[in-house]
A and B are shown apart, each in its own frame.
Chain A
Amino acid sequence: AQSVTQLGSHVSVSEGALVLLRCNYSSSVPPYLFWYVQYPNQGLQLLLKYTTGATLVKGINGFEAEFKKSETSFHLTKPSAHMSDAAEYFCAVTHGGSNYKLTFGKGTLLTVNP
């Protein structure tokens, strides 16, 4: 079984401040982890993903995430928030092999204040 928990359905930061969106997962096998972003009135797009190898992964728009197996976490960070980062962010988990099931978290709405 696999599941994703995103802590905080709504996160508010000031422009220029650190962005930290939390994601914890549960998986019985080594996970593959993803962050997706959904901008207002747009579809979902992939920010970054971790499959194997380096545990710190860099994505688009200055975001990065670190896979920490001991903490079963894959938190998303950005050093300095920009107004254009305001969106809803979804963490997702799957794993390699023949099972394609991809499970999403409930999402975190990021608000950036001027």
Chain B
Amino acid sequence: DGGITQSPKYLFRKEGQNVTLSCEQNLNHDAMYWYRQDPGQGLRLIYYSQIVNDFQKGDIAEGYSVSREKKESFPLTVTSAQKNPTAFYLCASRRVNEKLFFGSGTQLSVL
């Protein structure tokens, strides 16, 4: 079955540590997205990528980094520069102008 897989489901970060959230899709979608979900904030766009080896900053890119070396994969690194990383992170993908498919999300917490 086609879909988006995010891992891990839960992740804990220590002070000063970089952590990477995985997002893989086998839907042959060109576009992939990372959103952060906080209560009362809705979904905020961190980064998105339209094609392999290219990505653009979203509205809250500071403290995050991404790569898009393969069409299927769009990992998100939460760096130590992100001072408030506790949130629910959603990965999504789609073909142009079609509906967005979401992963099941990763809950990141700070130890």
B-binding residues in A (CB < 8 A) = 6, 9, 32, 34, 36, 43-44, 46, 49, 51, 90, 94, 96, 98-107
B102 touches A100 (CB 8 A): no
A103 to B44, CA, bound (A): 7
Q: Which residue of B lies closest to A107 (CB)?
A: B42
- B41 contacts A106, C-beta separation under 8 Å: yes
Interface residues contributed by chain B, number (CB under 8 Å): 25
Q: Judge whether B42 and A101 touch: CB under 8 Å.
A: no
Q: Which of B11-19, B64-72, B73-81, B92-100 contacts A (4 or more CB under 8 A)?
A: B92-100
Report which B residues bind A (CB closer than 8 A). 30-31, 33, 35, 40-45, 48, 50, 56, 58-59, 90, 94, 96-97, 99-100, 102-105
Q: Can you sample 19 A-B contacts with CB below 8 Å?
A: A32-B97, A36-B100, A43-B102, A43-B103, A43-B105, A44-B90, A44-B100, A46-B99, A46-B100, A51-B97, A90-B42, A90-B43, A96-B96, A99-B50, A101-B48, A102-B33, A104-B35, A104-B45, A106-B41
Expressed in whole angstroms, the Cα–Cα distance for A51 and B97 within the complex equals 8
Most buried by A among B33, B48, B58, B97: B97
For A100, what are the chain B residues with a Cβ–Cβ distance below 8 Å?
30-31, 48, 50, 94, 96
